Structure 1
């Protein structure tokens, strides 16, 4: 690898910017994702007054975003491996901006379905690139925090912001103009999208992707700016051919199947507290104001859990964290499902514990394990495929839960405890998931611990 003057590609000022802001600007795409995926559940409270929405309509409006996300992940994850991370995650922000404006101008429910699908595609584009990029620019000692915790923190901040905006608008806008609340909330998504777009223009390409594509000298300058040159040189990543069959052989196959299964289990049950809270409470007859405050409290608890997780993810055994949180989630789902209808105390206690454990463990672990599971030349495709399957699970849950809760009450939620029990067993029987502080290449391509 060349030891050319580093100012050829990265001058001192840009090097400081890259080191300080690269991870934040990539992860901040998740603020937009969190806002967009949460805002539909919150806006539904106001949308219902302008459109006659059935339980199925409400479920579909949330589910269609996840379907779009799956499409974006599959289509653009592979493209990101071919043309680079930077080009894709710049284009997706323009899609965010256009669809945010379009969603604010709709006059029919089917128009909103189309806009929500396209927003989902944009989210998929961002996820496929950001998860790969963050894993590739994070040092091993902080990869859990940067590639797992940071995007989740920005995601939940976006969710909190959407709920706070709804509370403020609901309190200040006269009831006669409440139809403008959901339009304003959809439109606002264009603002952070534009700001992140401007910031990302200053970022470099992923250095590991550059090495894979023979641009070693350029990669070296970026690695120097990120203080990753020694770690990456020691790991010795190299240019390799993109062979999809590598993912379906030996340890690589097991790694892919286990990480994908974990992500799918998390996104089968997780949306109940992550996205569907306002819809579920609305179906249960809780008033708008109380609904919004409960949703805000739940997301603040999730943020608190993530901040604790930031301190733990690169220090504790990740497998142990997965086992403990999966056990708590099993108990929480049973509490909400079997006892939630008998007492608000059981309902809210179970919901709070469910939220806390989700964001402390599986939400972060799913991100970091799925990014670590694949070699650099296939990381965008592999992580995209994993997350696409996971988002389809979210779509199914989002579609069926409103109707189930409407017809059967909270008892409909109890079976989701089985999902978390399966998650517990999956982590229990795969000791190699304890991947703390190993190099990215060692985790993605090394032999699995039996």
Structure 2
């Protein structure tokens, strides 16, 4: 076993050795990418299943429009709390500590929805569900980012976002099957069904190692060396990590000042603008499509079709993230998806085909902004505060998303579908302006270079 102090000293001296940032992608990276997709998959599933069950659930619990909005928004409020708390904890105690516990909590809270008897019970459980999902976002993405080689980091982190739409698609497909076959309590079964993928991901994650970068940031050099040899092979060591020592006295409060404060503002703003229209559409897809005179099976399968196009948009963005670059992809994503929302707002009485095509256009083009939600926050902050930064950005973005989701049923009833789409267009334009003014380009940088304030 190499002595920790010797290794620590030699890390500084061995800058000419090969970097792990340039190591080949291996089976561990691929498995870890899939395991880390639990948060976005379950996020998409749990949020979207509400749209499927809303009509039956509203009738069974005699919900008001305000209660409907609170139920849809409660998981987002929970993500606000869980994201920040989970990020701070994962930076303090390690990525591995919460990696399993959050999925245990998620499975239990999902099952609990089956027995609710009031709106407030459901709001409380979905608040707790959101906290579990919110906590998983920073710890899973930070762990993954700290293992991935530079060449594949952007595309594999971005692929996690696509799993949100896979989860949403699964919610609509299995939700519709349950609603058609489970009788009067079908909505209860559909809500509780999120426990099944939660348990599957829980079993898959067992045995995942701690982040070598996090261990090194805490001075645990020998443990970091063991992890590197296990993941990459005996020919590698911490000498190949090229991450020297913890940056001086970085804490969660570093995220509120200097260059990191500007980065948190950028990430939180573009993330908020990317998800507000998406979350609102998914939470109330059948109702929104009904406002465009698409009802019954047309609304149900229209929701599925739009979700599939969302996934296709993310897949296209994965192919563009390196050749096009992060900055250009973000700007163009907001521009063209926003124009689709503008046309929906200007022409709310269009035919069913035109309406679905415009929704499809939004779903296709917003993929660029969506896939960058995990890439930018993990690249722009150092190991010592990476989890806290991702958690804080997750939390701040959910404030706007929760408000937007809560206001959708009220907006539909008060100002109509056309003006609601125009408001969503305005949100997208804010995102585009923020991207033009603040988005950096990080595609050619290694993780330490991208996180350095000197690269701002």
* TM-score (normalised: structure 1): 0.89
CA change 1:23–1:394 in 2 (3 A) is: same
CA change 1:51–1:288 in 2 (3 A) is: farther
Corresponding residue pairs, total: 432
Question: Equivalents in 2 of 1:282, 1:181: separation in Å?
Answer: 21
What is residue 155 of structure 1 aligned with on the other side? Answer: 164
What is residue 78 of structure 1 aligned with on the other side? Answer: 88
Q: Is residue 266 from structure 1 mapped to residue 274 from structure 2 by the alignment?
A: yes
Bigger Cα displacement from structure 2, 279-288 vs 415-424: 279-288
CA change 1:244–1:194 in 2 (3 A) is: closer
* Structure 2 residue matching 1:137: 3-state secondary structure: coil
What is residue 175 of structure 2 aligned with on the other side? Answer: 166
Is the contact made by 1:207 and 1:219 (CA closer than 8 Å) also made in structure 2?
yes
Using the TM superposition, give the Cα deviation of residue 122 of structure 1 relative to its aligned residue in structure 2, in angstroms: 0.8
Which residues of structure 2 form unaligned runs of 5+? 5-24
Question: Equivalents in 1 of 2:254, 2:406: separation in Å?
Answer: 35
* TM-score (normalised: structure 2): 0.88
Is the contact made by 1:372 and 1:443 (CA closer than 8 Å) also made in structure 2?
yes
Is the contact made by 1:2 and 1:216 (CA closer than 8 Å) also made in structure 2?
no
What is residue 16 of structure 2 aligned with on the other side? Answer: none
Using the TM superposition, give the Cα deviation of residue 231 of structure 1 relative to its aligned residue in structure 2, in angstroms: 9.7
Is the contact made by 1:323 and 1:428 (CA closer than 8 Å) also made in structure 2?
yes
What is residue 288 of structure 2 aligned with on the other side? Answer: 280
Is the contact made by 2:217 and 2:245 (CA closer than 8 Å) also made in structure 1?
yes
Question: Equivalents in 1 of 2:238, 2:444: separation in Å?
Answer: 12
What is residue 376 of structure 1 aligned with on the other side? Answer: 383
Cα deviation digits, residues 58-79 of structure 1 (max 9, x gap): 2111101100111111222101
Task: Give the alignment partner of residue 58 of structure 1, picking from 63, 68, 84.
Answer: 68
Task: Give the alignment partner of residue 212 of structure 2, picking from 207, 211, 214.
Answer: 207
Bigger Cα displacement from structure 2, 16-25 vs 439-448: 16-25
Using the TM superposition, give the Cα deviation of residue 17 of structure 1 relative to its aligned residue in structure 2, in angstroms: 6.5
Cα deviation digits, residues 391-430 of structure 1 (max 9, x gap): 1111000000112112332222202222222222222223
What is residue 258 of structure 2 aligned with on the other side? Answer: 250
Is the contact made by 1:55 and 1:406 (CA closer than 8 Å) also made in structure 2?
no
Question: Equivalents in 1 of 2:289, 2:129: separation in Å?
Answer: 25
Q: Is residue 107 from structure 1 mapped to residue 114 from structure 2 by the alignment?
A: no
Question: Equivalents in 2 of 1:290, 1:232: separation in Å?
Answer: 59
Q: Is residue 223 from structure 1 mapped to residue 232 from structure 2 by the alignment?
A: no
What is residue 147 of structure 2 aligned with on the other side? Answer: 137
What is residue 7 of structure 1 aligned with on the other side? Answer: none
Q: Is residue 116 from structure 1 mapped to residue 161 from structure 2 by the alignment?
A: no
What is residue 12 of structure 2 aligned with on the other side? Answer: none
Question: Equivalents in 1 of 2:133, 2:385: separation in Å?
Answer: 20
Cα deviation digits, residues 297-331 of structure 1 (max 9, x gap): 01111111122222222332111111111110221
Is the contact made by 2:53 and 2:179 (CA closer than 8 Å) also made in structure 1?
no
Bigger Cα displacement from structure 2, 52-61 vs 319-328: 52-61
Using the TM superposition, give the Cα deviation of residue 16 of structure 1 relative to its aligned residue in structure 2, in angstroms: 7.7
Question: Equivalents in 2 of 1:266, 1:106: separation in Å?
Answer: 32
Task: Give the alignment partner of residue 429 of structure 2, picking from 415, 421, 425.
Answer: 421
What is residue 96 of structure 1 aligned with on the other side? Answer: 106
Question: Equivalents in 2 of 1:373, 1:68: separation in Å?
Answer: 25
Q: Is residue 362 from structure 1 mapped to residue 369 from structure 2 by the alignment?
A: yes
What is residue 193 of structure 1 aligned with on the other side? Answer: 198
Is the contact made by 2:51 and 2:284 (CA closer than 8 Å) also made in structure 1?
yes
Task: Give the alignment partner of residue 179 of structure 1, picking from 167, 178, 184.
Answer: 184
Using the TM superposition, give the Cα deviation of residue 118 of structure 1 relative to its aligned residue in structure 2, in angstroms: 0.8
* Structure 1 residue matching 2:397: 3-state secondary structure: helix
What is residue 137 of structure 2 aligned with on the other side? Answer: 127
Question: Equivalents in 2 of 1:231, 1:308: separation in Å?
Answer: 36
